[in-house]
Structure formats: structure tokens, C-alpha cells
Amino acid sequence: KAGVTQTPRYLIKTRGQQVTLSCSPISGHRSVSWYQQTPGQGLQFLFEYFSETQRNKGNFPGRFSGRQFSNSRSEMNVSTLELGDSALYLCASTPGTGNGYTFGSGTRLTVV
Amino acid sequence: AQTVTQSQPEMSVQEAETVTLSCTYDTSESNYYLFWYKQPPSRQMILVIRQEAYKQQNATENRFSVNFQKAAKSFSLKISDSQLGDTAMYFCAFENRDDKIIFGKGTRLHILP
């Protein structure tokens, strides 16, 4: 059974640019969540999608957005990148409440 | 709002010893789920163990067990016979009906040879 796949694994972008990260959940998992991980702040919740609808949103500026497609694949977009957006972005999927997440390997974004 | 607190930023123990990682949480709900995740240097987050709040019995997975004290809102992880491969960042996490999982800041665990 394939795990959660995130692409790309590494990304280097310049301030002001925008970036799109992709996540393919485990087959059958309809809930996909995104987290930003930094050494200082730990794991910060970005948003959660279920059946193409954003069900939860964290406390991030509007520059951070996401979407989910009918096949449950999800993308997150960050516009007008800032140096502080440099982080590991983790995607996770779950079949439902209480089952815990299965995480992808993450996308390491570096903004220069 | 729910919060998860891990009071030990970093710990070191000798191989084969037993180690306990602490976690406390705050919630007004009665039905929820608690988890411990492990993130080795390879950065892949792995679910170690889960506990349902309405179950009194503490969860156990091989060398990993929890001490769940619902009234005290405490959820500690015990690793028995620790191995070098247990070296990782450990995160305590809480989930309620909102399907949003809140993580603690993590405890960095070093297993020393």
C-alpha cells in the first residue's frame, strides 16, 4: 500500500515568488492536512481538507492557501514568499477521526 | 482552545534503559484521542501509539506504552529496553471531533550507546 507522497522533496525559491506543493494521500483517505514545521515553532497546523472542502484552517495569513481534488490529492500554495516561510511542509492523511495521521516525507522549502 | 505541553525539550538515556516522556494537555471535552509520534532524523513522522480517552486501559505497542491519566490530563510515553533506533524527536498530539490534530513542541530523545 503506497504511503503519502509529497512532491517535490526540496525547493529553493526567491522572496516574492510563489510556490505550489503537492500531496497524494493514501488511497481511500479523504482527509488531508498540512503542517508547517520549523525548529522554533514546532508543528503548526495550516489547513485540513475533506472531500474537496476546507474543513479547518490554522492561523496563517491569506498568502497560504490550499485545495483538494476529487481524487483526494491536495495542493498548497504560498504566494509572495517571505524568508520566514522557509520550513518543512508536511502533509498527512487519515481515514477518519481517531485513527491518527500518516505523514508524507515533507517538502523542504528554502526561501532566499 | 486545546493545548499540548511537552515539558522536556531534550533527554538522553543509555541503550537498554527505560525512559519516560511527559505530556500534558488541556481540553474541556470528554471524548478525544491522544497520540505519540516519532520523527527520526530522516524526518518521516511515524505514529507510535494511540489512546482513546474513553478507554481506561493504557495502550501498549511492543516496547512502547502510555500512562494515561484523564483527570490529570496527562499522557506520558514509556519506552522500555531503549534502542539506538529510538533516537528521534517525539511529539505528543491531541485530536478531538474537529479532526484537527494539535501537536506539542516535541522532546528530542538521544539513545546513547
Please tell me which residue of chain A has the smallest CA distance to B51: A98
A18 contact partners, CB below 8 Å, separation of at least 6: A77, A78, A79, A80, A81
The Cα of B62 is separated from the nearest Cα of chain A by a number of Å equal to: 18
Supply the pLDDT for residue B42: 78
Residue B41 vs residue B15, higher pLDDT = B15
Supply the pLDDT for residue A50: 93
Q: Which residues of A touch B35 (CB under 8 A)?
A: 100
Mutate to test the interface with A, among B45, B96, B103 (most CBs of A within 10 A): B45
Of B43, B50, B105, the CB nearest to A105: B43
User: By the 8 A CB rule, do A76 and A65 touch?
Assistant: yes
User: Average pLDDT per run of 10 along chain A, which is 112 residues long?
Assistant: 91 98 95 93 92 93 96 96 97 90 96 98
Could you read off the pLDDT of B45-85 as tens digits, one per residue? Answer: 999 999 999 988 999 999 999 999 999 999 999 999 999 99
Supply the pLDDT for residue A97: 83
Q: What is the mean pLDDT of residues B83-107?
A: 91
Interchain pair B97, A97: CB under 8 A: yes
Interchain pair A101, B101: CB under 8 A: yes
C-alpha cell at B95: 485530536
Supply the pLDDT for residue B6: 97
Does residue B55 sit in helix, strand or coil?
A: coil
User: By the 8 A CB rule, do B101 and B13 touch?
Assistant: no
User: By the 8 A CB rule, do B21 and B90 touch?
Assistant: yes
| B11 vs B87: CA distance, rounded Å | 10
| pLDDT of B33 strictly over 70 | yes
Pairing of strands B3-5, A107-111: unpaired
| B72 vs A50: CA distance, rounded Å | 33
C-alpha cell at B25: 494537555
**Which amino acid appears at position B18 of this protein?**
T
| B20 vs B40: CA distance, rounded Å | 17
| pLDDT of B43 strictly over 90 | no
Residue B96 pLDDT level (bands cut at 50, 70, 90): confident
